[in-house]
A and B are shown apart, each in its own frame.
Chain A
């Protein structure tokens, strides 16, 4: 029983990590119908920013997280204003090609700046090792991840439901034309949403640096997971992304434990089944 609970916990924290990385993509895809595959490059950027801050500026890990968030947010803002916004309204494939091109460029650029090898990250002692919680032996870092993830999820939900900006975001996701008709500045709202989403991806990347590993090929390895989480959850829905991430995270870890012969296919099986049964995603709007 304790093993099952531990596996559940591990899957949950993995899912939470995926959520932090992917939530920005879900909101921007739902709001502006813009498929930004380079989102996963933003996660990588956040990871590198955090590691660089720790290695070269002597910053502590905890402080590197907000730095990664802000740095990636700034970069996302610039990227959107300079490049991406010229492609709103074009068809899906154009956007896919454009952002894949940007993804490739990011892989090489990062290899050029930071070198082609993996980047190690050292955790402070307070976040290493294991701790006994209710009879279970749980990793401290995962507990930290869970705490951060829950805090972020709550903050996002609160932000969307209770703030004025959040209401504007929701309006744009639901019906862009009507929102614009009500006098909302769509361009500005989207730019800000994109920046925040990108910043969250960067934060996710910084958190992922310890659990997964950061190297220039990170986007190539994790693009599929981002796409899966966003489409299974339903585009535009924060709750949907959280649900999908948790389902996929738990499914992956628990699946690999109880049915190791199945290998890594659990994640694809879940995707295919859910997409066939509910093509708009778990919490997406029906077309």
Chain B
């Protein structure tokens, strides 16, 4: 059961081979057994989960079963969940029981899914290793001494360790794709605007997107079907016709069947992503993956994303700027942490925020405050937004020559917990391949494609054109039909 796909679980529930209560209990027991060590979950509430599971069973009995009804899903603790502690990995919200639910949570609720728990994350989504969490680091299930990636490390670990069959996560600079890569699972960041941000605690508003994490592209597609869709409460949510993201999964690329299902697919390989800084184990594994795609009929096309090197600097201006503003509401007045001792209002603000936020969050707020401050706005923020357009334009050009762009997700496989914690810049450089898609607003996904140093997972990055998620998932699905990286399970879970 713990290795069943979502489709299989749904069928099992439908035929009553298992009930939602049983299924949920199964995962709750695993969490109970393993979470102490892995620290993937911040909050688990068996009573609440089992009540939802019982509701789902009743619904299934009535014949009103949707694809995810009765299926337990773990949610990154960045999604406000009514009645549940929603901490965003921070002391600032350690006491915050959310009075409302995010749009994404509401959609899972409407689908009859079960809330399995809230997963651990880098504080306020700022990090690439889930080491900045107030609740302590998450451990990579492949090797407990290593990080699972971040900021959605808890969700990734939960799925990889089979503590949950599926999870939600968010991606601002790579926070779905990178932990998916480092833990050997599938994660997707949709086109900006496809998933509502209402109730998704904001980090960088123009970059944040919620997305699914699962053990396969097929699972991710089913999850995306629930998560995606217009929400009038989010002004950046796109009003589009509803899509079934599973619709292309079994269709060959160009309608020619069987032997070479990806015949006609042009895979752009950006030369800038295979240069210095990429470790050889990752480079080789990714290259082998592309070769596999070629076996399936695809063609490799060399492309250039000339402004790639500017993406990290631009991102580390834009994201902190927006974050510094988004985090101004955490002031101890209406909810969340408030310092226990202070002299006056000013002191209350300053102590509350100094004590409530961790070091990385404070660093980014300071950077953001600086680049927006008087006299620096043009030179930094505006400049970064211009570079953003250059990066987006690079992709526009690239997609004239290819259908998808592929490459590495991360310069290395997972690193040891604590190895980069003291050097923020080193940490930031992890995001070098994933950030461009966020800046451009393009959909990106990571699928497992092998193992590298220390037998740790390697992920393949797939970036598609705007709104091409269904096609991307199809491409990934064909790869997963021909390989079994996505079915590997870490030892000792």
Q: Do A and B come from one complex?
A: no
Residues of B within 8 A of A (CB): none
